[in-house]
Structure 1
Amino acid sequence: MKDFIASDDQALLDRHGLASFEALWSLELHAVDEPNEAPRGGWSTVYRLDLEGRGYYLKRQSNYLTHSLERPWGEPTLAREFRNIRRYQRLGIPAMSAAFYAQRRVVGERRAVLLTHALDGWQDLYSWLPEWEQLAVEQRQAIVSACGALARRVHERGQVHGCFYPKHIFLQPRGASFAAQLIDLEKTRPLVLGERDRVKDIEPLLRRTNAWNEVDRVGFLSAYLGGTQKLDHWLLRLGARLKDKAQRT
């Protein structure tokens, strides 16, 4: 895979000497959380980077691989996430965007770096939930509608997000409504099993939003379906899957 640098970020990275894999790999930064470790000794770490008032997140990986039928020997998980970022962009699905991507093989290591734009000014759905009951009804409906419309866009474009969780949905007020977009695209894949894939994709969100009441869930599904014509059917399908998941835990 060729090195990628977004045209809008080229000049800024150049000014700071960061327009290369080597510069971003060696840059000294404090990690935002504990590194993820792979079973065979690989690792993946995320850092915050601010340049001239513009925020980024830098991910660095070493031997942190994912395997597939197309790539049985594995590849950095960041390579898959970068491809999905670019796919979402082509498909017009609101999501995180990339500023830089590159990978290298270095003496037994497979290294990768991914620089993405920080969603400053956006707030993830998870952070709205603790005070959910204190929000105005109109605000709650605007949020659940934005989440439902986002899920519909993903599925209409033939994709399954794979991690449709409150922490991965970012929201921003737009007048009386909200805009919504996704992060964490590592597990995205094509939607091939129709309704079964769709139910499986959105059920985790309902399972993780205990603060939502029945009205909120109906509002989410109505936005997702574009109306209420099949609402009862979907409530039954999702209710059955939620019950099955609860019995397994």
Structure 2
Amino acid sequence: MSDFIAATERGLLERHGLSDFESLWDVQLDAVDEPNTGRGGWSSVFRLELEGAGFYLKRQSNYLTRTLHRPFGEPSFSREFRNILRYSTLGIPALQAVYYGERNIKGERRAILLTRALDSWTDLDTLLQQWSTLSAHQRLAILQACGQLARTLHAAGQVHGCFYPKHIFLRARSGAYVAQLIDLEKTRPALFGWRDRVKDIEPLLRRSPQWNEAEVRELLATYLQASVGSAQVDTWWQRLGKRSRHKETR
């Protein structure tokens, strides 16, 4: 795979001498958290700022994901990068890739993924912590944005696999909210109809205890493009509740 550089950011990276794998690997930055270890290697995330623009630089070594299609493994960033491109092609709102590259150096498999930081966006986890202080209009707009994001995702034939509040980012716009996704490594095609979709949405509701039944029904109404009191929303409320109870008893 040849290196990828987004055309919109190439000039910026070149001005700072960061348009190739080696320079991005060697640049000294502070990690935003402790590196992930395991899978025989490590993976770490760094914050990069260039001319007022924020980025996240992710570097990993021998941090591999093994699948049936790639039994010998591939860098986990490789899978996430492919999914970022897939989301863009399918019109699913998600984070933007700026650079991707891989190197095999004396048996060490290195990978770099650089993405734009979502500095003007707020993750749903943070908004949930503020839920009681938000206006009724704000709460409804957030629920509708999440429902629309799930609808767009599933209409494109994809399931996210980690559809959690911390992976959904929102921004207020013209009295409403828009939403997008991060952390696409576990994305896959939806193969099992409504069961896959229920499995994708249920963790979001389980991790959003601030939402009452009426609010969840508002989200589902947007997702299904149906009225809040419709039989469709009733059916999905029951399906999601059944899966939640099953997860709780495991």
Q: TM-score, normalised by structure 2?
A: 0.97
Count of aligned positions: 247
- Counterpart check, 1:9 vs 2:13: no
* 1:213 Cα offset (Å): 1.1
- Counterpart check, 1:163 vs 2:162: yes
Alignment of 1:232-243 (within 5 A): 232-243=234-245
Alignment of 1:26-65 (within 5 A): 26-40=26-40, 42-65=41-64
Task: Measure the CA separation in 2 of the matches of 1:169 and 1:231.
Answer: 22
* 1:175 Cα offset (Å): 2.0
Task: Measure the CA separation in 2 of the matches of 1:204 and 1:2.
Answer: 36
Matching residue of 1:206: 205
CA RMSD, aligned part only?
0.7
For residue 78 of structure 2, what is the amino acid of its counterpart?
A
- CA 1:73–1:39: 2 relative to 1, 3 Å: closer
Task: Measure the CA separation in 2 of the matches of 1:134 and 1:172.
Answer: 17
Q: Secondary structure at the match of 1:99?
A: strand
Summarize deviations over 1:85-124 as a string: whole Å, max 9, x none: 0000000000001000000001121000000000111000
For residue 190 of structure 1, what is the amino acid of its counterpart?
P
Q: Secondary structure at the match of 1:110?
A: strand
Matching residue of 1:180: 179
For residue 23 of structure 2, what is the amino acid of its counterpart?
A
Matching residue of 1:80: 79
For residue 242 of structure 1, what is the amino acid of its counterpart?
S
* 1:39 Cα offset (Å): 4.0
- 2:45, 2:58 within 8 Å by CA — same for their partners in 1? yes
Matching residue of 1:19: 19
Task: Measure the CA separation in 2 of the matches of 1:74 and 1:140.
Answer: 43
Summarize deviations over 1:170-202 as a string: whole Å, max 9, x none: 000012100100000000000110001000000
State the 4+ residue runs in structure 1 displaced beyond 6 angstroms: none
Task: Measure the CA separation in 1 of the matches of 2:182 and 2:112.
Answer: 17
Matching residue of 1:112: 111
> What are the ranges of 5 or more consecutive residues in structure 1 without an aligned counterpart?
none
Q: Secondary structure at the match of 1:48?
A: strand
Q: Secondary structure at the match of 2:234?
A: helix
Q: Secondary structure at the match of 1:200?
A: helix
- 2:167, 2:182 within 8 Å by CA — same for their partners in 1? yes
Q: Secondary structure at the match of 2:249?
A: helix
Task: Measure the CA separation in 2 of the matches of 1:193 and 1:244.
Answer: 18
* 1:215 Cα offset (Å): 1.6
Alignment of 1:211-230 (within 5 A): 211-228=210-227, 229=230, 230=232
Summarize deviations over 1:38-70 as a string: whole Å, max 9, x none: 142x00000000000111000000000001111
* 1:133 Cα offset (Å): 1.4
Q: Secondary structure at the match of 2:142?
A: helix
- Counterpart check, 1:97 vs 2:96: yes
- 2:39, 2:64 within 8 Å by CA — same for their partners in 1? no
Task: Measure the CA separation in 1 of the matches of 2:164 and 2:193.
Answer: 20
Task: Measure the CA separation in 1 of the matches of 2:77 and 2:130.
Answer: 34
> What are the ranges of 5 or more consecutive residues in structure 2 without an aligned counterpart?
none
